[in-house]
Amino acid sequence: MWKIKIWTKLLLALLVTIVAVEALVDRARDNGDIYIVSHYTFDGDIDDISTTTPKPADPDYIDFDEITHICNASFITPISNVLTFNSTGSLPDDNDTTSMCYFRCFFEKSGLMDNFKLNAELVRKYVWPATGDSIEYCESQGKETETNGCIRGFAIVKCVMLRALTDARNKPTV
Ligand SMILES: *[C@@H]1O[C@H](CO)[C@@H](O)[C@H](O)[C@H]1NC(C)=O
Ligand SMILES: *[C@@H]1O[C@H](CO)[C@@H](O)[C@H](O)[C@H]1NC(C)=O
Ligand SMILES: *[C@@H]1O[C@H](CO)[C@@H](O)[C@H](O)[C@H]1NC(C)=O
């Protein structure tokens, strides 16, 4: 008899968890294929739902590792492409739309970009201290001409990366 009770409880707990997970997934889907989960880190592991994750002290905290994981799950991109892009602002293959989608996803999910608009505050905090018209200039990339969201998003990310790399190189040497 007690066994049945325990099993009933377990089953109930599992059902509640599944319903919760499905609700979260549905909510995410409602926002389209690229949705922001910057402050939410569900990695598909049901066990994580029931435990409370400690809130990071920094309200702008972004779990970049988690975002890498999520974006790479949808748009598998070799780490070498990420490293190449990070150091040159270019991809090994100019027409690699999967990697473009990956970088767009990375910027969108981290909150650095929302619907092709850069979050100037977060970009300055995490990427580089954008000055002048950099933000507006990068946002305008592909605006009139590009209908593919990944290519347009990547053009903006690439612009940000190139400016960040250039500014870093231009640091005055005293
Ligand atoms: C993406 O996943 C593949 C295989 O699952 C892995 O080889 C690759 O290093 C991952 N890329 C990144 C950027 O983590
Ligand atoms: C990208 O480059 C910056 C320095 O320019 C470095 O701090 C960062 O860790 C690099 N990211 C990756 C994923 O290699
Ligand atoms: C990329 O595509 C363009 C035209 O769509 C083509 O001219 C170019 O050779 C391609 N580049 C690579 C590296 O495949």
Strands (E), 63-143: 113-114, 117-118
Range of the domain at 22: 1-30
Q: How many domains does the structure of the chain reveal?
A: 2
Confidence of residue 50 (pLDDT cuts 50, 70, 90): very low
On whether both 22 and 51 belong to a single domain, the answer is: no
Q: How far is CA 83 from CA 26, 48, 137, in A?
A: 33, 30, 24
Residue 104 lies in a domain: yes
Q: Is the pLDDT of residue 170 over 80?
A: no
21, 57: one domain = no
- The answer, yes or no, to whether any atom of ligand 3 lies below 6 A from the CB of 95, is yes
Overall pTM > 0.75: no
What is the average pLDDT across 92-118?
Answer: 97
Ligand 2 atom nearest to CA at 165: 5
- Each residue's pLDDT tens digit, 142-162: 999 999 999 999 999 999 999
Residue 95 CA to ligand 3 centre (angstroms): 6
Residues 90, 136: Cα–Cα separation, whole Å = 21
1 and 41 in a single domain? The answer is no
